[in-house]
Structures are given as structure tokens and as C-alpha cells.
Homo-oligomer: A and B are copies of this chain.
Amino acid sequence: MEEHLSDAVSELRQAIGEVNVIDAAAEIARRTRDISLWNRRGAAVVYPGSAQEVARVMQIASRHRLAVWPFSMGKNWGYGATMPYRDGALIMVLERLNRIIEVNQELAYAVIEPGVTQKQLNDHLKSANIPLWVDCTDSTPQGSIIGNALERGVGYTRYWDHFGHLCGLEVVLAGGEIIRTGGGPANSLTWNTYKWGTGPYIDGLFSQANFGIVTKAGIWLMPEPQAFNCFICELHDETRLSPLVDALRRLALDGILPANVHIVSDLLFTAQIMPYPYNLLEGGTYLSADARSKLRDRLRIAPWTVTGGLYGTRVQVRAMRRAVSAALRAFGNVRFIDDRKLRFLDRMTAIWNRTRNFPLLPDLFARLSNSSLEKAQAIPHVYPILKGIPGEYIVRFAYFKSRGPRPVSDVDPARDGAGMLWVAALSPLTGKHTGRLLELCEPIFHKHGFDLSLAFLMVNARSVMALMQIFFDKENAAEGQRALALYDEVIHATAKAGFPQYRTSVAFSDRIMEEAPELQRTLDAMRRAIDPYNLIAPGRYGVGLNNENSGIR
């Protein structure tokens, strides 16, 4: 294998340039780390610069039967980042494919490459004065738009469903062929405007899967609305979460909330604004109900905080505000924030900040605003994300249990040794189901010595994702072991109860298809037909797991 590999590396260097093929072990490790606890070693890291170079890499990989794991930017933190399912594969990072090929203002779409980041496209739109928004996640601005969409990431605006807003893909197949999805004539005028194309719609084969490497995609952009409001509702009575979920479903089904609503637990909110309150542990490994309640009081945050965006004409947004207020005021005070109010809040928190050293004043502010300074300071960071402007603030929650400092800029929890795993379970959007899910998960988290921290993110009007965080201190090996045991148990328990995974990690790939063996066989057969040596990300989401020549060792 080693010799085999060194031949391949030489050929790759010839094909795409010396500096774009990294095979020094330390460098590979540096470039493929995650905040998770899994360890997978790539054989080398390659950085092709174009679809043609991606094709050339695949041709070389085919000759050497070398598995290739493609990643756009590799910021899939907490799910495995740039790790392959098994050691020994080529890691392909597409960060050099970073061209914004077209922005069509009239038809509100862009055509981009997988190395284009959230920040890059947003900056481009802003600097060119194009009144279109690109929906972003609350993770790093350096994340890939296409990579996130193919992983079916979600954002905040009307265009929150990132995969749903891809339109027209260019894909490199295992043998190096380049295809364009959508069918139709070669000069199709609707490649980036009509998603289903002509004939079978196959884009889904490249999402949470491995049928090919996407090297270009159309993405729909949202016209800047005339009016925008962010709403916040705090649920102080935990027992009323279920009816709140039902109220949100009705708003969404009625088309009043055509955007994504997040229901954030107190602990996830805490993680966004401060390091883990180790001092409240009282000898345990997770916070008691009492300690958690004290923490909430100090920060003046509720057990659950609901946030969402309202987008439309001024008249529409006014109508939405009225409907949202009517539906949610029974659960808690509903506050609306617009640009003007945000500027005011900004000024207030700046003044408040300056009162830190004066007696009584900070406390007065807190009482008047029913907020803490920490909480008040979060809003100006969250608000822009709801307008498609990515920021580094929220993703800092990944540092929750880190003992070291939490950076203000250039945030990179993988580099900085932060520890967190995601478990994302899908549920029907009913209070009955979300209640059942919480009842199921909380004891499991506690059993393994962890706080249950999560957010419910609506993924459409009928479904919600329970995005759970397992926070751990990477320097605490025992905690790490417990985290992995918890991960395993909670994934199995939720699946057994009928809650599927919304998205999964490199560590669960071998089990994700466990209960759909006929489907897996069908996918494997189709994949074998176009990737006979099982080269592209073999085993990703369970696909190709059982195929031969797989590089799965």
C-alpha cells in the first residue's frame, strides 16, 4: 500500500501541482481534524483547482483503486469534518474551486463552485450592491455553501432549506466523467431556474451520499425584502413546550411563518454567551435542575427561547407580527426587533458595558431590560444571521467546555481543541412527539453524566430537528469515553423510537442504513454501476459500505 500510495502521490503532483498534494503525516493531521473524538487518517490531502483537475484526480485514483473523500471546505465540525469513514483514503478539499461564476440579479440565483464560502458570496453581493441575500447557517463564515447544502444544512430565512434551493449541478463521477444534472438541451436556459429538470431528478444522489463530486451548482438567492423583523419569545414555563410546538406548526402550515424557527434551550443559549459554569457542578458532571435554574436566573434566560425571522413587504410583515403575537403571547412576551431597534439596543449595551465598574448601574440595566449584559450582547450577533450575513459569534458555543480562551475572531474550534458531538434527530412537528423525544433523551444524557443541551430547528411545516449537543472537555479522556457511549446510546434509542437521523457523522455511517437493507442494496447496486471500484467516499451514509474494492478496511 505504501509504495502504491507514493506512486499515486507522484502522479497527483504531476497532474495538479506539487503544492496541492500534501502527504506529510503531521500536515495531514493538521488539515483533517474535527472537534469530535473520532480519529480517521487520510493517506494524503489533495487540492484540485478545477472540475477538470477533480476529474484527473479521479482517473489517477481509479488506476490505483484509491478511495477519495471529497469535502468542499471541510468545516462539517462535530460530524467528522474532513474525516473519511476509514483510514487510508485521499482527502480531497475543494477550497480552490472558489469562483462565483454568475450572479443573475433578475432571476435571483448564483452559480458557484464548492469552495465559495458563506462570507465570500455575501461579501460579493454586498460590495456589488446586489439586493439579494444568501441564506447562511450560524456556523463559521468560512463554511462552504455547496457543502452545507449537500449535507442538507438549514439556515434562517425564507430560503432556509439549503438543499431545496440548489438548482442545477455539475458533477464529476468516479471515472472522471463530468455530467450536468437536469437534462434538456446543452444550452438550457432553465438549468438554474427549474429544479426538477427534464426526465428523472437525480440531484438527491449527490446529497448525503457519494454518487459523485459536485463541482458547480446553481443556488437560488432571496431578494432583499422590503421589511424584516426578528421575533423573540421566551418560554418560562417548561411544561408548556408541547403546546408551543403545536402553535408554531399551525403558523407554519398556514403559511404565516414561511421561515425557519429555532427553539433554543437555556444551556445552548448559555454556551453561546459564556464558558461552561464548572463552578455550579457541585461535584457532579452535569448541572442539577437547581443549578440550571440558578444559571438561568443569573443570565436572565428562559428554559426555551424561540427566534425567527419575518420577511416581506411592510404590510406583510405587519400582518405576520400580528399573527405571531396572537399565537405566541400565551407562552411568553413576544418581542420584535428591526434595524432601528437593533441600533438602539446596540447603543444601550455599549453604555451598559461601560457601567460595569460602577455600583448598582449594571443591575439597574438588568432589571429595566429584564436581561443580562451577556444576553443583551448576543442579539446584535444573532440578528444579522437572520438577514443572511454570516458571523463567527454563535459557533463559539463549540468551545463551551474548553478550558482555554474563546477567540473573538478567526474562530476555529477544531484547531483550538474544542470538544462537541452532534446528534440530530428528526421528529414530526407536534408537541406530543417533541415531548416524547425529550423524555426519551434526557435520562440517557444524565445516565452518561451529561447535560441535555439542544435546539429544536423547524425543517419544514411538518418536521422539526432536535439538534443535540454533547459538550465535552477534550482534555478529559474519561469524559470523552462517556461522550462516545452517550452518542451511541442516544442515536440507537431515538432510532428505535422512530426518530430518524437528520444528518449523521462519520462514526455512524456503518449503522445508518441498518433498518433499510433493501434500500441499501438498491443504492449499492446503482452506485456500483457508476463507481465500480467504490472510490468516492465509500460508506458515506452507509452507501457502498458493502461494495467491493472499497478501500474500506
> Using Cβ atoms and an 8 Å threshold, which residues of chain B touch A366?
none
A57 to B183, CA, bound (A): 31
6 examples of A-B residue contacts, CB within 8 angstroms: A177-B522, A179-B518, A189-B499, A190-B426, A194-B463, A199-B209
With beta carbons under 8 angstroms apart, the residue of B179, B183, B194, B459 that contacts A194 is B459
For residue A461, which residue of chain B has the nearest CB? B108
Q: Kindly state whether residue A462 has any CB partner on chain B within 8 Å.
A: yes
Known: A183-B519, A518-B177. A200 touches B209 (CB 8 A): yes
* Contact status B460-A516, CB under 8 Å: no
Give the bracket for the number of chain A residues in contact with chain B: 35 or more
A249-257, A379-387, A441-449: which lies at the interface: A249-257
Q: How many copies does the complex hold?
A: 2
Q: Kindly state whether residue A152 has any CB partner on chain B within 8 Å.
A: yes
Q: Kindly state whether residue A243 has any CB partner on chain B within 8 Å.
A: no
A428 to B255, CA, bound (A): 26
A194 to B464, CA, bound (A): 9
Q: Kindly state whether residue A500 has any CB partner on chain B within 8 Å.
A: yes
CB distance from A337 to the nearest CB of B (A): 20
* Contact status A208-B199, CB under 8 Å: yes
Known: A500-B184, A500-B188, A519-B179. A200 touches B196 (CB 8 A): no
Q: CB-defined interface of A419-462 with B at 8 Å, one 1/0 digit per residue? A: 00000001111100100000000000000000000000001111
* Contact status B319-A513, CB under 8 Å: no
For residue A518, which residue of chain B has the nearest CB? B179
> Using Cβ atoms and an 8 Å threshold, which residues of chain B touch A525?
529-530
Task: Give 4 closest A-B pairs by Cβ, nearest first.
Answer: A201-B204, A184-B500, A200-B209, A193-B462
A326 to B471, CA, bound (A): 53
A46 to B28, CA, bound (A): 60
* Contact status B185-A255, CB under 8 Å: no
A121 to B225, CA, bound (A): 37
With contacts A107-B249, A198-B502 known, what are 8 further pairs, Cβ within 8 A?
A: A106-B249, A183-B512, A183-B513, A194-B462, A199-B542, A199-B543, A201-B204, A258-B258
For residue A317, which residue of chain B has the nearest CB? B319
Q: Kindly state whether residue A276 has any CB partner on chain B within 8 Å.
A: no
Known: A322-B315, A500-B183. A205 touches B207 (CB 8 A): no
With beta carbons under 8 angstroms apart, the residue of B207, B312, B429, B512 that contacts A255 is B312
Q: Which residues of A contact B (CB under 8 A)?
A: 106-109, 152, 158, 163-164, 173, 177-190, 193-209, 211, 220, 223, 225-226, 249, 253-256, 258, 311-313, 315-316, 319, 322-323, 426-430, 433, 459-463, 495-496, 498-504, 512-513, 515-516, 518-519, 521-523, 525-526, 528-530, 541-543
CB distance from A492 to the nearest CB of B (A): 10
A426 to B185, CA, bound (A): 11
> Using Cβ atoms and an 8 Å threshold, which residues of chain B touch A181?
519
Known: A194-B463, A199-B512, A319-B316. A498 touches B189 (CB 8 A): yes
* Contact status A500-B198, CB under 8 Å: yes
Interface hub of A107, A109, A190, A255 (most chain B Cβ within 10 A): A190
> Using Cβ atoms and an 8 Å threshold, which residues of chain B touch A498?
185, 187-189
A499 to B188, CA, bound (A): 6
* Contact status B426-A180, CB under 8 Å: no
> Using Cβ atoms and an 8 Å threshold, which residues of chain B touch A253?
108, 223
For residue A187, which residue of chain B has the nearest CB? B498
* Contact status A500-B185, CB under 8 Å: yes
> Using Cβ atoms and an 8 Å threshold, which residues of chain B touch A315?
319, 322-323
For residue A514, which residue of chain B has the nearest CB? B185
CB distance from A144 to the nearest CB of B (A): 18
Known: A208-B199, A426-B194, A529-B528. A519 touches B180 (CB 8 A): yes
A525 to B184, CA, bound (A): 19
> Using Cβ atoms and an 8 Å threshold, which residues of chain B touch A528?
529
A496 to B198, CA, bound (A): 15
CB distance from A542 to the nearest CB of B (A): 6
Interface hub of A164, A500, A502 (most chain B Cβ within 10 A): A500
With beta carbons under 8 angstroms apart, the residue of B109, B186, B189 that contacts A433 is B189
CB distance from A312 to the nearest CB of B (A): 6
Interface hub of A195, A207, A311 (most chain B Cβ within 10 A): A195
